[in-house]
């Protein structure tokens, strides 16, 4: 192999806007604010940016961003599909571009007004041709319905209960309660609140669902060599992977042999193959949590436990600070902000800088994952 | 040409399937009261959703094989509002995933109802159970035949 991505690049700047149900600024303005904050954090001039990566669902394109922030000549740009499955791949694509000399300063971002904008599933009519023709007419309308179907089967097969899903919601909420930037800061959750909350798609209740959020985040990627001269302690991109499993069908992954082993399994195999360490060496993890059942499924997929053991893994405070695997230490999509998982990337960086509001002592390795159930991506970060 | 929204209006606001080229035969057979699944004409393997070529032998020749119409509930959800208005009116309703008796890896999303034309919430939720035996029926709505599922008499 001619080159390796392993530790060849680093995230040297992170930025974010406020997170709220409603923000007055446009998605474009929020994107620019997050990107400029990330560049200021890195101590890099916007005119040096020559690469961009975001999601296909991102409304503001790189042309708009580049001219607004005053970027220089741009030589690499990339968009990743599948909504929340794209988050970590933005970093991965920029790491590849920088490591292979296609660019020198890359910016990844996501800006979204999901809190005040329309719910994406409102527009189901345009999704009715494949694959919507097989699901939408029957009232399987929203991601919560689609994932709820897998969750019910998972609970049936492995004895997972709503208490296990509560463990996930609680871990994220507890971390958000310590994070002043989180939407659920100072808003504690109790077991009673969880168990008596309204159903969204039974078996999933209100607290099994991520937050409706307006906000934007960005990060800056440069070569490891350049990173040594930046303002912040470098956080190295150790391994990256995308995952689209054989015979996968998207969120309604109901038609392959094993719907309960999703894209996480595919991404994980490649991620660990490229890494110098394994799941047992991960100090802290930021695991995509649009819905609570994605956590046990991802714990299994990324190899923290065996098949069917993900729910039991959440017991005994394992996901809490000081537990076996602290997760989503900023509060995650469930309790910090739901910005298609980009906050998980920045939170991973904060942990390895040692500045998280729920700091894991001496954290040196962090797994960050993207949306599960859809073609996904993941990165391993190290300090 | 009937638009999706016009068709939906005639189906009481529920969304109607919009067949693509690969899926059209499924809906044409449904209109004849038949549940059929695409099969490879070369190697015989069934596949769903339909697609242009066989992922196993790469043949572009396909046929549509009639299924018995029997199956079992693999999983289910009960969506609650906020939902599209026509669905909210019947919520909480059930959506089931049926694994076909003839081909367990083929699982069709649908609704468990008391009879073909009954509302989506016509079955007592206490009767929803993974593993329950069901069979297909078809309801005419908005000019299309849409499969629904009823419990087998035990």
Please state the rounded mean pLDDT for residues A323-351: 98
User: Does residue B119 fall inside a structural domain?
Assistant: yes
Q: Which residue in this structure is represented by tokens 């150790």?
A: A238
CA distance B128 to B77: 9
Q: Domain boundary residue among B66, B82, B97? A: B66
| The two three-digit tokens of residue A301, written as one number | 């997929």
CATH of the domain at B142: 2.40.50.840
pLDDT at A124 over 80: no
Rg (chain A; Cα; Å)? 19
Cβ proximity of B103 and B67 under 8 Å: yes
Residues B58, B99, single domain; the answer is no
- B128: distance to nearest CA of chain A, Å? 12
Residues B149, B92, single domain; the answer is yes
- Reported for A359-363, long-range contacts at CB under 8 A and 24+ positions apart, including other chains, are A359/A329, A360/A283, A360/A284, A360/A321, A360/A326, A360/A329, A362/A283, A363/A283, A363/A284
Tell which residue, A196, A239, A259, has the closest CA to residue A8. Answer: A239
Residues B53, B84, single domain; the answer is no
Q: CB distance B15–A124 less than 8 Å?
A: yes
The total domain count for chain B is 2
Please state the rounded mean pLDDT for residues A325-347: 98
Longest CA–CA separation in chain B, Å: 46
pLDDT at A193 over 60: yes
Band of residue A48 on the pLDDT scale cut at 50, 70, 90: very high
Q: Which residues of A touch B78 (CB under 8 A)?
A: 199, 201-202
The answer to whether residue A114 neighbours chain B at the CB level (below 8 Å) is no
- CA nearest A153 in B: which residue? B75
Neighbouring residues of A273: CB distance < 8 A, sequence distance ≥ 6: none
Band of residue B5 on the pLDDT scale cut at 50, 70, 90: low
CA distance A263 to A187: 33
Residues B83, B149, single domain; the answer is yes
Cβ proximity of A318 and A312 under 8 Å: no
Band of residue B13 on the pLDDT scale cut at 50, 70, 90: confident
User: Does residue B42 fall inside a structural domain?
Assistant: yes
- A203: distance to nearest CA of chain B, Å? 7
Three-state DSSP at A147 gives helix
Q: What is the pLDDT of residue B4?
A: 54
Please state the rounded mean pLDDT for residues A340-349: 98
ipTM of the complex: 0.94
Q: Which residues of B touch A148 (CB under 8 A)?
A: 77, 79
Q: What is the pLDDT of residue A242?
A: 98
Q: What is the pLDDT of residue B153?
A: 84
Say whether the peptide bond before residue B19 is cis (omega within 30 degrees of 0).
Answer: no
Q: What is the pLDDT of residue B2?
A: 46
Q: How many degrees, rounded to 5, is the angle at CA A377 between CA A376 and CA A378?
A: 140
Strand ranges in chain A using DSSP code E only, listed in sequence order: 9-16, 51-55, 76-80, 106-113, 199-202, 204-205, 214-223, 235-243, 284-286, 365-369, 376-382
The answer to whether residue A133 neighbours chain B at the CB level (below 8 Å) is yes
- For the stretch B116-143, pLDDT in tens is 999 999 999 999 999 999 999 999 998 9
Q: Which residues of B touch A142 (CB under 8 A)?
A: 79, 83
Q: CB distance B108–A249 less than 8 Å?
A: no
Q: Please tell me which of the candidates A156, A201, A255 has its beta carbon nearest to residue B130.
A: A156
- CA nearest A249 in B: which residue? B49
Give φ, ψ of A187 to 5 degrees: -125, 85
Residues B76, B140, single domain; the answer is yes
Give φ, ψ of A367 to 5 degrees: -95, 130
User: Does residue B115 fall inside a structural domain?
Assistant: yes
Q: CB distance B87–A122 less than 8 Å?
A: no
Q: CB distance A137–B15 less than 8 Å?
A: yes
Residues B79, B139, single domain; the answer is yes
Residues B59, B122, single domain; the answer is no
Q: CB distance B84–A141 less than 8 Å?
A: yes
Q: CB distance B75–A141 less than 8 Å?
A: no
A-B C-beta contacts closer than 8 Å = 119
CATH of domain A9-115+210-382: 3.40.47.10
CA distance B60 to B52: 6
Neighbouring residues of B62: CB distance < 8 A, sequence distance ≥ 6: B38, B39, B40, B41, B50, B54
Residues B85, B148, single domain; the answer is yes
- CA nearest A127 in B: which residue? B18
- For the stretch B24-77, pLDDT in tens is 999 999 999 999 999 999 999 999 999 999 999 999 999 999 999 999 999 999
Residues B73, B134, single domain; the answer is yes
Residues B79, B146, single domain; the answer is yes
Q: Are strands A51-55 and A106-113 parallel, antiparallel or unpaired?
A: parallel
User: Does residue B10 fall inside a structural domain?
Assistant: no
User: Does residue B147 fall inside a structural domain?
Assistant: yes
Q: Domain boundary residue among B66, B88, B103? A: B66
Question: Can you give the residue range of the structural domain that contains B144?
Answer: 68-153
Q: Which residue in this structure is represented by tokens 């005419």?
A: B140
Residues B143, B103, single domain; the answer is yes
Q: What is the pLDDT of residue A115?
A: 87
pLDDT at B1 over 50: no
Neighbouring residues of B124: CB distance < 8 A, sequence distance ≥ 6: none
Q: Which residues of A are catalytic?
A: 288, 338
Strand partners, A284: A366
Q: Which residues of A touch B48 (CB under 8 A)?
A: 255
Residues B75, B50, single domain; the answer is no
pLDDT at A73 over 80: yes
Cβ proximity of A73 and A50 under 8 Å: yes
Give φ, ψ of A329 to 5 degrees: -70, -10
- CA nearest B79 in A: which residue? A201
- A299: distance to nearest CA of chain B, Å? 22
């Amino acid at each position: 192999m001619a080159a390796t991505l392993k530790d060849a690049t680093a995230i040297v700047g992170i930025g974010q806007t406020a997170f709220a149900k409603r923000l007055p600024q446009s998605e474009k303005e929020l994107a620019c604010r997050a990107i400029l904050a990330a560049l200021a954090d890195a101590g890099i001039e916007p005119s040096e940016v020559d690469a961009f990566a975001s999601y296909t669902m991102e409304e503001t394109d790189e042309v708009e961003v580049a001219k607004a922030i005053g970027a220089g000549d741009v030589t690499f740009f990339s968009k990743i599909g599948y909504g929340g499955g794209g988050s970590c791949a933005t970093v991965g694509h920029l790491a590849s571009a920088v490591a292979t000399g296609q660019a020198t300063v890359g910016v990844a971002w996501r800006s979204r007004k999901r809190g005040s904008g329309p719910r994406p599933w409102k527009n189901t009519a345009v999704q009715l041709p494949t694959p919507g023709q097989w699901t939408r007419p029957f009232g399987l309308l929203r991601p919560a319905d689609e994932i709820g179907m897998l969750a019910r089967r998972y609970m049936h097969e492995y004895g997972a209960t709503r208490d296990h899903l509560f463990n996930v919601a609680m871990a994220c909420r507890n971390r958000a309660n310590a994070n002043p930037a989180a939407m659920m800061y100072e808003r504690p959750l109790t077991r009673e609140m969880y168990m008596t909350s309204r159903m969204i798609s039974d078996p999933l209740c209100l607290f099994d669902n991520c937050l409706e959020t307006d906000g934007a985040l960005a990060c800056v990627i440069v070569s490891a060599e350049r990173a040594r001269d930046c303002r912040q302690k470098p956080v190295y991109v150790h391994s990256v992977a995308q995952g689209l499993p054989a015979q996968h069908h998207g969120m309604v992954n109901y038609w392959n042999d094993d719907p309960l082993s999703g894209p996480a399994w595919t991404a994980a195999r490649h991620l660990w193959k490229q890494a110098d360490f394994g799941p047992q060496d991960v100090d802290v993890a930021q695991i995509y949590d649009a819905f609570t059942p994605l956590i046990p499924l991802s714990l299994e997929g990324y190899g923290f436990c065996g098949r069917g053991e993900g729910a039991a893994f959440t017991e005994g405070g394992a996901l809490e600070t000081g537990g076996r695997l602290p997760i989503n230490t900023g509060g995650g999509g469930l309790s910090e902000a739901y910005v298609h998982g980009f906050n998980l990337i920045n939170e991973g960086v904060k942990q390895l800088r040692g500045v998280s509001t729920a700091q894991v002592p001496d954290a040196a390795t962090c797994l960050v994952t993207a949306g599960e159930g859809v073609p996904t991506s993941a990165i391993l970060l190290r300090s | 040409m009937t638009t999706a929204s016009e068709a939906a209006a005639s189906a009481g606001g529920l969304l109607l399937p919009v067949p693509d080229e690969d899926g059209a035969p499924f809906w044409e057979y449904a209109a004849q009261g038949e549940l059929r699944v695409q099969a490879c004409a070369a190697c015989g393997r069934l596949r769903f959703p339909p697609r242009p070529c066989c992922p196993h032998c790469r043949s572009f020749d396909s046929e549509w094989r009639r299924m018995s119409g029997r199956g079992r509930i693999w999983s289910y959800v009960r969506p609650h509002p906020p939902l599209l208005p026509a669905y909210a009116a019947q919520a909480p309703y059930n959506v089931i995933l049926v694994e076909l008796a003839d081909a367990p890896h083929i699982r069709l999303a649908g609704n468990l109802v008391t009879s073909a034309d009954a509302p989506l919430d016509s079955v007592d939720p206490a009767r929803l159970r993974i593993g329950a035996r069901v069979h297909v029926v078809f309801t005419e709505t908005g000019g299309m035949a849409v499969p629904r599922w009823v419990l087998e008499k035990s």
